[in-house]
Amino acid sequence: MDNKILEQAKAAKISSRVLACVTTDEKNRALGLIADALEKRCGEILAANALDVEAARAKGTSESMIDRLSLTGPRISAIAEGVRQVADLPDPVGEVVEKTTRPNGLVISKVRVPLGVIGMIYEARPNVTVDAAALTLKAGSAVLLRGSGSAMHSNETLVRVIRDALRETAIPEEAVDLIDGTSHDSVDEMMCLRGYIDLMIPRGGAGLIRRVVEGSRVPVLETGVGNCHVFVDETADADMAERIVINAKTQRPSVCNAAETLLVHRGRPDMLKRLCSALAENGVTVHGDEEVCSLIEGAVPATEKDFAEEFLSLDMAVKLVGSVDEAIEHITRYGTGHTEAIVTGSRENADHFVRSIDAAAVNVNASTRFTDGFEYGFGAEIGISTQKMHARGPLGLREITSYKYIVEGNGQIRG
Amino acid sequence: MDNKILEQAKAAKISSRVLACVTTDEKNRALGLIADALEKRCGEILAANALDVEAARAKGTSESMIDRLSLTGPRISAIAEGVRQVADLPDPVGEVVEKTTRPNGLVISKVRVPLGVIGMIYEARPNVTVDAAALTLKAGSAVLLRGSGSAMHSNETLVRVIRDALRETAIPEEAVDLIDGTSHDSVDEMMCLRGYIDLMIPRGGAGLIRRVVEGSRVPVLETGVGNCHVFVDETADADMAERIVINAKTQRPSVCNAAETLLVHRGRPDMLKRLCSALAENGVTVHGDEEVCSLIEGAVPATEKDFAEEFLSLDMAVKLVGSVDEAIEHITRYGTGHTEAIVTGSRENADHFVRSIDAAAVNVNASTRFTDGFEYGFGAEIGISTQKMHARGPLGLREITSYKYIVEGNGQIRG
């Protein structure tokens, strides 16, 4: 065990007890100071980021990765604005979720409380460093940020700016700390810190998430892998189906709520043809099963992997099914519990699909792209959970809290 | 991997999809049939239980353990009555927790859904077999029951009775299954069945719980270990303090919500003396720190372990503290996040204690013994969670469910 990480976690745990009792006003003031400091120290942040970008280029990193890593003046302003928006959100801590008076006079309140210390593991996007810190602080928890080694200069500077701002507040600066992202072992070390870290949130590729989910002794919120389907039912409106399929696949293909597989009812070969030609027009390669390939010119044969994994690109697996039940069966086999959509004109089929599909979000006549904290009205999100425990779907402020029961009496004892 | 357990888990998973869609009426009818069958086949159950009890006696098992293991006619009737009470509880599945209409017209409903398959691991109390099956069925989940090997004949018969009853219903009998309790490895095998088992709930001693919490790759609800404290503040009413301390310690010393440590404000030596003599009168041995031992005749010196672990017997660790903050500090160090109580006449001290203590239940002027699903009005419970993720405190039907978002539109796409 790296003693540094243990020390950081211990300090975060101690700070979390102070943070848990900080008022909403003081938390919001701290977020305002952080936002101001990010803008004021923009030059310093950009200089650090330039070192990371230079190193990434020297390693031959792809341009799309370089883009994710790169900060600019306007990007830093947008990040600061995001922090101010978190300050404007209602404070989840202290919310009375339920309150009952028992026959014996005991008043039992279920009250939202902070989780304690949250460990975030993520890849080379420096904006996540600030977003995660802002959200966890507002939710009353300390955060240990383990970003990618390739963003280390940027992250170090961002965390220094945040901590300098915290020094002028009632929040201990130890409540935000950066874990060494250049060490592969640091992830494993964090996963062992049961008792110090209360929750791990891995964000990134399927491999990273699997590693944390399978190895962690600290509870995990599994996020992000979305092998999402759109099923176009026999009764679907063709215009609506085309609009939804194109949006779900092409509006932002690299994200987890983009659709990866299209299932079309076999009774509508016209629909299949129309959708496939719309996909082709939008630059999407259709990976069809044998039947689809025999009907659609330009379709390439789909492999098992095409149905089982995310493309995250302008590719879509396409398959004909004979019924809603066959669509449900396919999705049950290949889905990752993220978002599944049906396009249908039948209330009955919609209800059957909604009841039978086991996923965070089941959409009827709406694009899969809506599974998102902002779209749900949460104001912000720290990820999308694909697990069933604790929180499912978009993770807003409430979803990164716990609760406790406060039981108030006047001397009651149990008979 | 024992293929039998994998096969049982696979069958439970498949059955859970059917069970998730079974109506409330049908689930309640099934629970009624199970209750009737338990009473009708009482003789068969008692004969099997007699084999377990005989074997336990032959092994020299303690009388208190024999008592936990033993069934009688009235006990079986009480178990059947418990099943009927679960049928009377509201169905958590399908409950619309929240519903919002977004500016774009999307209607987003957050709806309670079953978890899937729950793995219960517990010790030699055959009543848990039936209680857990009834609660998980009502919550729409299948259950894999891994009781103790010493209750194997009882459990086999009870599960056979339950499954025979299910055969007359729409619920597949595979939704309730018994895992071999005579094999130590079966616990480890269950803990690896990620994808088949959705949640593990260990109930029993601290050792069992630690083993599951640390080793499981399936998410866990940690239950039961309660190193609960009562802090008697300087401003406490002496009558109330005595009533609460005696109830919390002696009403049922072997359970997790019994108090284990008494903290008394140093400014009230009169209170300390009164409480310790009341404890002695009730047969409780006081394990005092040095200061307490110097003041209280008959107190035995407390070890570190006395403060750190549960006694679960008529023993209590006792310590003087100088302030509410010192009490909070002690509890933060030794508490297990179960139930912590303050007896006080000061609103300010009560509020400070409630805010600062991180536990499932924080009680003001009420016995620790109230942390219980029935006392909270949940109607039943499957355990008491001492973790912060998913559910905290008494676990009723709602707490063993998940939720999903149903998003209904009329062709909305994301801009």
Q: Do B102 and A244 touch (CB under 8 A)?
A: no
Indicate whether A210 pLDDT > 70: yes
Contacts of B11 (CB under 8 A, 6+ apart): B174, B177
- The pairing of strands A228-232 and A259-265 is parallel
CA distance A143 to A206: 22
b or e along A109-134 (b: 16 or more beta carbons within 10 Å of the residue's beta carbon)?
bbbbbbbbbbbbbbbbbbbbbbbbbb
With contact defined as beta carbons under 8 Å apart, do A99 and A405 qualify?
no
Q: Do B116 and A390 touch (CB under 8 A)?
A: no
Local confidence band at B49 (pLDDT 50, 70, 90 cut-offs): very high
Q: What is the DSSP string of A54-120?
A: HHHHHTT--HHHHHHH---HHHHHHHHHHHHHHHHSPP-TT-EEEEEE-TTS-EEEEEEEE-SEEEE
The per-residue pLDDT for B201 is: 95
A236: nearest CA partner in chain B? B411
With contact defined as beta carbons under 8 Å apart, do B368 and B248 qualify?
yes
Residue type, A361: A
What average pLDDT does chain A have?
A: 96
Q: Do B409 and A108 touch (CB under 8 A)?
A: no
- The pairing of strands A393-394 and A384-385 is antiparallel
Indicate whether B2 pLDDT > 80: no
Q: Using H for helix, E for strand and C for coil, what is the string for A110-138?
A: EEEEECCEEEEECCCCHHHHHHHHHHHHH
Chain A residue numbers with beta carbons less than 8 Å from the beta carbon of B388 are 115-116, 198-199, 402
The per-residue pLDDT for A2 is: 61
Indicate whether A1 pLDDT > 60: no
Q: How far apart are the first and last CA of chain B?
A: 49
Best A24, A108, A340, A405 member to test B by mutation, with max B CBs in 10 Å, is A405
Indicate whether B208 pLDDT > 90: no
Chain B residue numbers with beta carbons less than 8 Å from the beta carbon of A115 are 388-389
User: What ipTM is given for this predicted complex?
Assistant: 0.94
- The pairing of strands B117-121 and B107-114 is unpaired
Nearest to B411 among A20, A243, A411 (CB): A243
Nearest chain A CA: its distance from B407 CA (Å): 5
Nearest chain B CA: its distance from A351 CA (Å): 10
Which two tokens mark B122?
């517990």
**Which range among A341-350, B80-89, B128-137, B204-213 shows the weakest confidence by mean pLDDT?**
B204-213
Q: Do B413 and A247 touch (CB under 8 A)?
A: yes
Q: Do B371 and A405 touch (CB under 8 A)?
A: yes
Q: Give the Cβ contact number of residue B137 at 10 Å.
A: 28
Nearest to A388 among B115, B332, B412 (CB): B115
Q: Do A364 and B406 touch (CB under 8 A)?
A: yes
Which two tokens mark B291?
């200061």
| pLDDT per residue as tens digits for the range A239-256 | 999 999 999 999 999 899
Q: In this prediction, what percent of chain A has a pLDDT beyond 90?
A: 90
Nearest chain B CA: its distance from A374 CA (Å): 11
Chain A residue numbers with beta carbons less than 8 Å from the beta carbon of B108 are 376-377
A329: nearest CA partner in chain B? B17
Local confidence band at B1 (pLDDT 50, 70, 90 cut-offs): low
The per-residue pLDDT for A248 is: 98
Local confidence band at A213 (pLDDT 50, 70, 90 cut-offs): confident
Q: Give the Cβ contact number of residue A95 at 10 Å.
A: 15
CA distance B325 to B352: 9
Chain B residue numbers with beta carbons less than 8 Å from the beta carbon of A402 are 388-389, 392
Q: In what order do the strands lie in the sheet with A259-265?
A: A300-301, A285-288, A315-321, A259-265, A228-232, A339-343, A361-366, B401-412, B107-114, B96-101
Nearest chain A CA: its distance from B369 CA (Å): 6
Nearest to B365 among A246, A332, A409 (CB): A409
CA distance A386 to A372: 12
Indicate whether A263 pLDDT > 60: yes
The per-residue pLDDT for A124 is: 83
Nearest to A21 among B21, B356, B367 (CB): B356
DSSP at A302: P
Nearest chain A CA: its distance from B27 CA (Å): 16
Which backbone phi and psi does A99 adopt, to 5 degrees?
-145, 125
Nearest chain B CA: its distance from A408 CA (Å): 5
Nearest chain B CA: its distance from A107 CA (Å): 10
Q: Do B17 and A356 touch (CB under 8 A)?
A: yes
| pLDDT per residue as tens digits for the range A145-194 | 999 999 999 999 999 999 999 999 999 999 999 999 988 899 999 999 99
| pLDDT per residue as tens digits for the range A117-154 | 999 999 888 999 999 999 999 999 999 999 999 999 99
| pLDDT per residue as tens digits for the range B186-197 | 999 999 999 899
Nearest chain A CA: its distance from B103 CA (Å): 10
Residue type, A169: T
Instruction: From B391, B370, B376, select the one nearest B257 (Cα to Cα).
Output: B370
Residue for token pair 């101010």: A84
Q: C-alpha angle with apex A209: B112 to A257, nearest 5 degrees?
A: 55
Nearest to A355 among B21, B116, B246 (CB): B21
Task: Please compute, for residue B62, the number of CA atoms within 13 A of its CA located in the half-sphere on the CB side.
Answer: 4
State which H helix or E strand residue A334 sits in. Answer: helix A324-334
The per-residue pLDDT for A215 is: 86
Indicate whether B4 pLDDT > 80: yes
Q: How far apart are the first and last CA of chain A?
A: 49
Residue A140 Ramachandran class (φ > 0 left, ψ -120 to 50 alpha, else beta): left
The per-residue pLDDT for A221 is: 93
Task: Please compute, for residue A242, the number of CA atoms within 13 A of its CA located in the half-sphere on the CB side.
Answer: 15
Nearest to A376 among B108, B116, B408 (CB): B108
CA distance A413 to B170: 44
With contact defined as beta carbons under 8 Å apart, do A381 and A255 qualify?
no
Residues paired with residue B380 on neighbouring β-strands, in sequence order: none
Local confidence band at B379 (pLDDT 50, 70, 90 cut-offs): confident
With contact defined as beta carbons under 8 Å apart, do B292 and B319 qualify?
yes
Nearest chain A CA: its distance from B413 CA (Å): 5
B222: nearest CA partner in chain A? A219
Q: Give the Cβ contact number of residue B301 at 10 Å.
A: 11
Q: Do B404 and A21 touch (CB under 8 A)?
A: no
CA distance B296 to B395: 40
What average pLDDT does chain B have?
A: 95
A353: nearest CA partner in chain B? B406
| pLDDT per residue as tens digits for the range A102-115 | 999 999 999 999 99
Beta strands in B233-306 (DSSP E): 259-265, 285-288, 300-301
A410: nearest CA partner in chain B? B365
CA distance B310 to B258: 9
CA distance B208 to A18: 33
Q: Do B361 and A413 touch (CB under 8 A)?
A: no
Indicate whether B297 pLDDT > 80: yes
Contact pairs from chain A to chain B, CB under 8 Å:
201
CA distance A201 to A199: 7
Mean pLDDT of B100-126: 96
Q: Give the Cβ contact number of residue A304 at 10 Å.
A: 8
Local confidence band at B80 (pLDDT 50, 70, 90 cut-offs): very high
pTM for this model (two decimals): 0.94
CA distance B265 to B236: 9
Burial class (CB in 10 A: 0-12, 13-18, 19+), A166: buried
